[in-house]
């Protein structure tokens, strides 16, 4: 079983991002409004994620790729922080969900990013990894397109977290297929995130193992995204981390040649 990596020396949280208990309550409470007020929810998450990313790298003038950009909330927050951001998504319907397709966005696969090797300063992805059939191929692609010395920010919801089944939670603990059938019976429609089709069981341990075994990156941080900073030790506890992490953030630095 993979052990949690030790945090490397690097920038500590800047004043713009403080991983406090109040922040955790605010973010986790917002999940109740994801379906009813998606713009409120995703704008809040985007602002927080970009502030968190900014504690590891300077975004002003940086070339950034947002993998799985969807409706573009994170891309707009990155642009607002001064980055030159391109968003990609495999589904045109997601790119146009709020109207016209956003600037600097394109339809492409996260498993074969349409960018040259070492061509971007930052490769960013929030809550996409669990939706692709080959998550570590996506992660490898993110590392590939990042330049030497650049930053990879990869965040995902792990399967055994309380929100691992997304809208079918917490019934995913009884099995993904069973949870999907229950959701359809109760709501008269299948869930958007169908287990085995566009929702896959990714674990914290597998993410740590991939990061540890990757020869191209140095691990800057591996921590539960929504928790206070003092709770980051959860990632070091096998078993418990799969349930208590909720959402894992990996922050990586691309090694030089």
Say whether pLDDT at 68 is over 60: yes
Residue span of the structural domain in which 56 resides: 21-96+120-158+202-254
Residue 223 pairs in a beta bridge with 249
Helix, coil or strand: residue 221: strand
Say whether pLDDT at 132 is over 50: yes
d(CA 69, CA 67): 6
pLDDT greater at residue 40 or residue 187: 187
Q: Which tens digits make up the pLDDT trace of 165-184?
A: 999 999 999 999 999 999 99
**Token pair of 72, please?**
């573009």
**Token pair of 86, please?**
């391109």
Q: Which tens digits make up the pLDDT trace of 214-255?
A: 999 999 999 999 999 899 999 999 999 999 999 999 999 999
Burial (CB count <10 Å: 0-12, 13-18, 19+), residue 9: exposed
Tell me, yes or no, whether 192 lies in a domain: no
The pLDDT, as a whole number, for residue 183 is: 96
Tell me, yes or no, whether 212 lies in a domain: yes
The pLDDT, as a whole number, for residue 13 is: 38
Tell me, yes or no, whether 140 lies in a domain: yes
> What mean pLDDT do residues 25-47 have?
81
Tell me, yes or no, whether 25 lies in a domain: yes
Tell me, yes or no, whether 112 lies in a domain: no
**39 band by pLDDT with thresholds 50, 70 and 90:** confident
**Residue 67 and residue 60 in contact, taking contact as beta carbons nearer than 8 Å:** no
Say whether pLDDT at 14 is over 70: no
Q: What is the CATH number of the domain that holds 72?
A: 3.40.50.150
> What mean pLDDT do residues 118-138 have?
97
Tell me, yes or no, whether 142 lies in a domain: yes
Say whether pLDDT at 43 is over 80: yes
Percentage of residues of the chain with pLDDT beyond 90 = 73
Phi/psi of residue 252, nearest 5 degrees = -125, 150
Percentage of residues of the chain with pLDDT beyond 70 = 91
CA 169 vs. chain centroid, Å, equals 18
Q: Is the pTM of this model over 0.75?
A: yes
Specify the residue for token string 């600097």.
104
For 79-111, letters b (16+ CB in 10 Å) and e give: bebebebbbbbbeeebbeeeeebbebbeebebe
The pLDDT, as a whole number, for residue 6 is: 40
Q: Is it true that the peptide bond before 170 is cis, omega within 30 degrees of 0?
A: yes
Domain tally, the chain? 1
Long-range contacts of the stretch 130-136 (C-beta < 8 A, 24+):
130/156, 130/157, 130/158, 130/159, 130/164, 130/199, 130/200, 130/201, 130/202, 131/68, 131/193, 131/198, 131/199, 131/200, 132/200, 133/200, 135/200, 135/202, 135/206, 136/206, 136/210
pLDDT greater at residue 2 or residue 109: 109
Tell me, yes or no, whether 109 lies in a domain: no
d(CA 247, CA 164): 9
d(CA 213, CA 127): 22
d(CA 118, CA 64): 12
Max mean pLDDT among 6-15, 26-35, 169-178 falls in: 169-178
153 half-sphere exposure, CB direction, 13 A CA radius:
23
Q: Which range among 9-23, 118-132, 152-166 shows the weakest confidence by mean pLDDT?
A: 9-23
Tell me, yes or no, whether 67 lies in a domain: yes
**94 band by pLDDT with thresholds 50, 70 and 90:** confident
The pLDDT, as a whole number, for residue 104 is: 82
């Amino acid at each position: 079983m993979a052990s949690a990596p030790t945090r490397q020396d690097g920038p500590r949280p800047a004043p713009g991002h403080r991983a406090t208990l109040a922040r955790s309550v605010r973010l986790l409470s917002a999940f109740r409004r994801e379906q009813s007020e998606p713009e409120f929810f995703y704008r809040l998450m985007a602002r927080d994620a970009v502030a968190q990313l900014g504690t590891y790298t300077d975004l002003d003038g940086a070339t950034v790729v947002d993998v799985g950009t969807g409706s573009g909330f994170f891309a707009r927050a990155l642009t607002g922080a001064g980055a030159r951001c391109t968003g990609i998504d495999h589904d045109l319907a997601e790119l146009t969900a709020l109207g016209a397709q956003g600037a600097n966005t394109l339809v492409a696969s996260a498993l074969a990013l349409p960018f040259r090797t070492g061509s971007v300063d930052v490769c960013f992805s929030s809550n996409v990894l669990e939706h692709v059939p080959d998550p570590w191929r996506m992660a490898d692609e993110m590392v590939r397109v990042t330049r030497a010395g650049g930053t990879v920010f990869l965040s995902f919801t792990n399967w055994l977290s309380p929100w691992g089944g997304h809208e079918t939670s917490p019934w995913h603990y009884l099995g993904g297929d069973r949870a999907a059938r229950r959701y359809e019976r109760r709501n008269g429609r299948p869930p958007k995130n169908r287990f085995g089709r566009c929702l896959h069981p990714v674990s914290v341990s597998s993410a740590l193992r991939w990061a540890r075994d990757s020869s191209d990156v140095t691990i800057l941080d591996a921590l539960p995204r929504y928790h206070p900073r003092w709770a980051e030790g959860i990632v070091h506890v096998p078993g418990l981390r799969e349930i208590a992490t909720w959402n894992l953030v990996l922050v990586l630095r691309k090694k030089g040649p």
